[in-house]
């Protein structure tokens, strides 16, 4: 059974002015997501700025998220690392904290071979019982997880069940679904490509857009699954200018700016990410007005 079906939010991590995690604000965001019909919380991923967290912070955010959500919807913990040992340690602790699944990004910087990727992901998955979703984002990691590698892992490692695909390569995604006879949970990692991925047999999206428009991201998927493909397509296209604005600078710079424009006071990104450039923020503001998120 899939960990979730629909739109899961790749939730941001709010920070205080002194740079510490703002847990009170995180609780507010989690409750708003659940009220907005988000299908899953994905914590401490790229959008959650896990790359600038200490291991203690990383695990504290996962534990806090699980405690607040209380199994009302699934929680997936981002526990990937370019160090296999670190990924194992984070994954074991996330399972203890009550996470319903793991999101495992491919090792970055090391540029492992496909055999290295197989060994890495198997080593992590073998240490836990909860299901794992691989995360293929070669633009950030420098390495593509080949369809054959993903198919091999899903067939040979019981609790590796799917992949978040952010490569944008639909030929490779189609090949993956063919290699697995569709017996794999594929989620879009790109908000502008949800409907075409669903059309290939995908299970949903792990979404940045959901941070500011959870109902709409959920509805894109729900309409498609209910047979209203035209309605789903219309929502996807209506959201496209806003999605483009959310990625006019590297994620999560724009989505944090968007939440602050909405009065959420989630703080600034941690260095080396900086605040959004004024010209880009004005483009984002205009698209948010058009979408009805702010006045």
Tens digits of per-residue pLDDT, 67-83?
Answer: 999 999 999 999 999 99
Cα distance from N-terminal residue to C-terminal residue, the chain = 42
Residues 6+ apart with CB under 8 A from 89: 55
Distance between CA atoms of 203 and 196, rounded to whole angstroms? Answer: 11
Say if CB 101 and CB 74 are below 8 A apart: yes
pLDDT value for 1: 73
Residue 198 φ/ψ, nearest 5 degrees: -60, -35
DSSP state of 107: P
pLDDT value for 285: 98
Distance between CA atoms of 160 and 149, rounded to whole angstroms? Answer: 12
Say if CB 264 and CB 29 are below 8 A apart: yes
Burial class (CB in 10 A: 0-12, 13-18, 19+), 64: middle
Say if CB 77 and CB 44 are below 8 A apart: yes
pLDDT value for 152: 98
Strand 101-105 relative to strand 132-136, pairing: parallel
Ranges in the chain, pLDDT < 50: none
pLDDT value for 258: 98
**Catalytic machinery residues:** 135, 164
Distance between CA atoms of 219 and 246, rounded to whole angstroms? Answer: 19
Token digits of residue 14: 């709010």
């Amino acid at each position: 059974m899939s960990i979730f079906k629909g739109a899961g939010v790749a939730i941001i991590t709010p920070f205080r002015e002194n740079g510490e995690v703002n847990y009170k604000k995180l609780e507010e965001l989690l409750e708003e997501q659940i009220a907005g019909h988000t299908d899953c919380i994905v914590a401490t991923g790229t959008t959650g700025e896990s790359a600038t967290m200490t291991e203690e912070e990383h695990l504290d955010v996962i534990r806090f998220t699980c405690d607040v959500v209380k199994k009302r919807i699934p929680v997936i913990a981002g526990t990937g690392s370019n160090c296999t040992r670190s990924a194992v340690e984070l994954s074991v602790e996330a399972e203890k904290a009550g996470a319903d699944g793991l999101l495992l990004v491919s090792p970055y910087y090391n540029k492992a071979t496909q055999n290295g990727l197989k060994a890495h992901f198997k080593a992590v998955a073998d240490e836990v019982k909860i299901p794992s979703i691989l995360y293929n984002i070669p633009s950030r990691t420098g390495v593509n997880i080949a369809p054959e590698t993903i198919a091999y892992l899903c067939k040979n490692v019981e609790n590796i069940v799917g992949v978040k695909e952010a490569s944008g390569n639909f030929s490779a995604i189609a090949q993956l679904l063919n290699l697995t006879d569709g017996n794999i949970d594929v989620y879009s990692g790109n908000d502008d490509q949800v409907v075409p991925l669903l059309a290939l047999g995908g299970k949903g999206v792990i979404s940045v857009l959901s941070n500011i428009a959870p109902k709409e991201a959920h509805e894109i998927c729900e309409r498609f699954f209910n047979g209203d493909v035209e309605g789903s397509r219309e929502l996807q296209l209506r959201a496209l200018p806003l999605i483009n604005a959310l990625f006019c600078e590297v994620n999560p710079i724009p989505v944090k700016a968007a939440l602050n424009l909405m009065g959420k006071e989630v703080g600034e990104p941690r260095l080396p990410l900086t605040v959004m450039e004024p010209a880009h923020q004005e483009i984002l503001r205009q698209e948010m007005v058009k979408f009805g998120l702010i006045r």
